[in-house]
Amino acid sequence: MSLRTLRRDTITKPLFKWAARVMPPISETERDAIEAGTVWWDGELFTGNPDWNRLLAMSPANLSAEEQAFMDGPVRELCAMVDDWKINWEDRDLPREVWDFLAKKKFFGMIIPKKYGGLGFSNTAHSEVVRTVSSCSVVAGVTVMVPNSLGPAELLMDFGTDEQRDYWLPRLADGREIPCFALTSPEAGSDAAAMTDTGVVEYGAWQGERVLGVRLNFHKRYITLGPIATVAGLAFKMYDPENHLGRGNELGITVALLPTLAAGVAYGERHIPQFTHFQNGPLYGRDVFLPLDLILGGEKQVGKGWRMLMTALAAGRGISLPAQSAAAAAICARATGAYARVRTQFNVPIGMFEGIRKPLADLAANIYLIDAARRLTNAALDDGHRPSVISAIMKFHATERMRDSVGKAMDIHGGKAIIDGPRNYLGSQFRSAPIGITVEGANILTRNLMIFGQGAVRSHPHMLKEILALSDEDEAKGLDAFDKVVWRHVGHAFAALWRAFVRGWSGGRIGPAPGGAAMPGYWKLLSRYAAAFALVADLSLLTLGGGLKRKEMISARLGDILSELYLLGAVLRRFEAEGRHEEDRPIVDYLMRQGQGRIAVAFGGVLDNLPARWAAILVRLAAFPMGISAPAPPDELTGAVAEMLMKDSPQRDRLMPGIYLGEGHEQHPLKDLEHAFRLVTAAAPIEKKMRDKHLYDPQEARNKGVISGAEFEQIAEAKAAVDIVIAVDAFPMEDISPIAAQHRRKNTAAAGAPGAPRPRGSEAAAGPAADQ
């Protein structure tokens, strides 16, 4: 008997039986979700000893010359065609000429290879296009995003038959077909496997012939582009009660290519998502017959729909929603910094108040972090990775930081932001923020169950192999596989304990950092946290087993640590990749201190609530002997970061590149704001000259010879531009409410007063009377 056999039969076997009891077998649906996509940097983080040099060595996410030309040409043309206020409040849709332009320029075929008539763009280009278009209009951004994200095109490229690709992809690329993806139903939201939409295998009539196919009955909702789609990727549960396919009755979740003009399909109704009028609505089907040829991927892909969806989401979640979030965060940061500079109260720009500077600094930090992580994730996707755990991290944290940015921007703008009208550049971002939070995996679910829950199994060096061994129907084979991997896991756990001890007791001074890095202390700090994370993750899995699924708050905090390690690594990498701009150092310092605080809170929450107290004590003694430090950015640093948004500088443009600021429109609120911002900053030396003499009235300063006539005119020009910016819209009562207008006419007639309504305009146009 070999030593390994002796170990397996005497030591591993009892472990195997214990583990089988505490770790419930995974369902086929769970297995599909776990095995979807690939492991990338998340795997490095779970080792507790990430190779930071590997992260820095990654190729940057760059655009090709063709992609840049598309950004500079059709993308900018599209933005100039779009009037976001008119889309949402008057037309309730994109104009016909915009739809035609999108099809003509192949916006719907960005990800489709050139051989099928698409543009064949990279993931980076896809992200940049969605980001820029979303910065001018959320509706336009969603419309461009959906055909290039989760939908028939991507699924066809990954899973379709040659015949399906040859037919459908050229038609999708040039806009002859408008796609949608129909997954969610009333019974199945986050739990998509609970869907009651069915397809029964039987013979039926199709184009005059009797063929074998599926009889579909379904009710889908929240389907973006559903009201106008010509083809839907339809997810349903497939059954074969007569065993035509020879595989039994329950065949599993399957995806079909559904022509929406097929008999029995009903569509065209619209939902209104937060008064953001992109095309979205329900899709119904009753006794709809499709041939098996329209099963996506053909008969061999029957029952594999869930894996298709999870594989597509593994990439899609990391591109489109982070791109839209980056657009919103950039608009909020740029506009709010400018507004805080031009808007004065008590004769001081409001951005000078410390209470304003803290949210301003958060706005700058959010956009730097979102873009750092977005570009890193895009680079990984362009390298061929499909990191499902990283995509979940990106989806959650990009949309949450976007929501935080929108809220802070609204607070700083005050009344300017809450009065809707063509002059309001934040209203659409505010209304649409909950949409990104909810779609493609609601954020509560993503944080509590997916990031660590999926990562612990998929990204851990050994856990998936152990679970598969425990789930093996051949117990002897499973035991042998378990014996091979469990002792490697034991070695990994002891290595994590040792690393956590050394790095913890040295205060993070001992630990790996990339050679020649500009901020080695921060890299070493992340190495310390990575070792502590690997240790606490293993102890949580050991002591809770399958019960960790039900300890959602512990799982969420572990996911928070994993996420911060990825996001902060992306921040440090961005600083290195962009050439170590010294003026960006304060924002990196700010983010690293913020991140340390978040990591400390998460570690504390896990260790305070871990049921196995011995495990919590062990982690505290090994990794945090002096307690868990939770620093916050000091006030001076906060002020320096806030100042970045209020200076007209190349740094401001570099931090928020590529967003649409009204070019091509004669009038646009962001264009007006940028104009006023530049005039005000240019006039700043003149205002300082006045303040030094305790003068705040330009006319008085001119009369006293403190400023020249030319300087007076410069101040007046800036003041006029600011008046346009701070003005809000006002509408004739008849436009708002005919009922109220009718009452007003009756009241004014009874009082003998003229009742003519004022013309539609704004405070700036109406003059002082508007305030009376």
- Closest of 89, 95, 256, 99 to residue 181, by C-alpha: 256
Q: Rounded CA gap, 50 and 530, in Å?
A: 8
Question: Going by C-beta distance under 8 Å and a sequence separation of 6 or more, which residues neighbour residue 26?
Answer: 34, 467, 471
φ/ψ (deg, to 5) at 183? -115, -55
130, two tokens: 């969605």
CA distances from 428 to 143, 240, 662 (A): 15, 47, 15
Q: Rounded CA gap, 471 and 27, in Å?
A: 10
Q: Rounded CA gap, 114 and 90, in Å?
A: 37
| Angle at CA of residue 398, ends 394 and 608, nearest 5° | 80
Task: Give the β-pairing of 761-762 and 729-730.
Answer: antiparallel
Is residue 245 helix, strand or coil?
Answer: coil
Which residue's structure tokens are 């013979």? 203
| Angle at CA of residue 593, ends 589 and 599, nearest 5° | 140
Q: Rounded CA gap, 490 and 462, in Å?
A: 10
- Judge whether 537 and 565 are in contact, CB under 8 Å: no
- Judge whether 364 and 404 are in contact, CB under 8 Å: no
Q: Rounded CA gap, 75 and 66, in Å?
A: 13
160, two tokens: 């379709």
- What is the SS3 assignment for 144-204? HHHHHCCCHHHHHHHHCCHHHHHHHHHHHHCCCCCEEEECCECCECCCHHHCCCEEEEEEE
Q: Rounded CA gap, 87 and 84, in Å?
A: 5
Q: For residue 320, how many other CB atoms are within 10 A of its CB?
A: 27
- Judge whether 705 and 745 are in contact, CB under 8 Å: no
- Closest of 364, 343, 428 to residue 82, by C-alpha: 428
- State the catalytic residues: 440
CA distances from 234 to 204, 218, 265 (A): 19, 9, 12
- Judge whether 406 and 325 are in contact, CB under 8 Å: no
Strand partners, 755: none
Q: Rounded CA gap, 288 and 294, in Å?
A: 12
DSSP string, 384-412: T--BHHHHHHHHHHHHHHHHHHHHHHHHH
Q: Rounded CA gap, 325 and 443, in Å?
A: 14
235, two tokens: 């997810």
- Closest of 517, 501, 392 to residue 457, by C-alpha: 392
The CA radius of gyration of the chain, in Å to the nearest whole number, is: 29
- Judge whether 729 and 693 are in contact, CB under 8 Å: no
Dihedral Cα 500, 502, 507, 513, nearest 10 deg: -80
Dihedral Cα 595, 599, 604, 609, nearest 10 deg: 130
| Angle at CA of residue 115, ends 109 and 120, nearest 5° | 40
